[in-house]
Amino acid sequence: MAIAPQTADLTAVCRSDERGAAHVRDILDRIGDKWSMFVVSLLERGPQRYGTLARDIPGISQRMLTVTLQRLERDGLVTRTSYPEIPPRVEYALSPLGESLQEPISALATWAYAHQAEFAESRERYDAKQN
């Protein structure tokens, strides 16, 4: 445990070459994929049904909603509860682990929102210079 008590060192933690264990890489994969954080952000309002999520996430396909929810469930961020009724009802909710993600994620979102303009300007400058 060479890691400091409060902040983890990315250089030490990013590596994915130890066998078995989950790593920052896995978290970053979940965070970086196309739909996961959108789903999580919706679930922060409370449990939601599959159809509700599908309606509230513009542009997502049925397949990707299913896949995203399965990955989130596998990683323990989301729980799935199905009620054996007809018609079937399934509710997805954030687990405690998923809820605990809110703080770092919204810090990131806040940062991203605050620096949107710098980001965009830098890209414009860069792209302009390329030709």
- Which residues of this chain interact with its own copies, rule CB under 8 A? 3-4, 6-11, 13-15, 17, 20-24, 26-29, 31-33, 37-38, 40-42, 58-59, 73-76, 97, 100-101, 103-123, 126-127
State which residue, 91 or 99, has the beta carbon closest to DNA: 91
Answer for the pair 64, 35: CB distance below 8 angstroms, yes or no: yes
Burial 10-48 (b: 16+ CB within 10 A, else e): eeeeeeeeeeeeeeeeeeeebeeeebbbbbbebbeeeeb
Please, what is the minimum distance in Å from the beta carbon of residue 26 to DNA?
Answer: 10
State which residue, 6 or 62, has the beta carbon closest to its own copies: 6
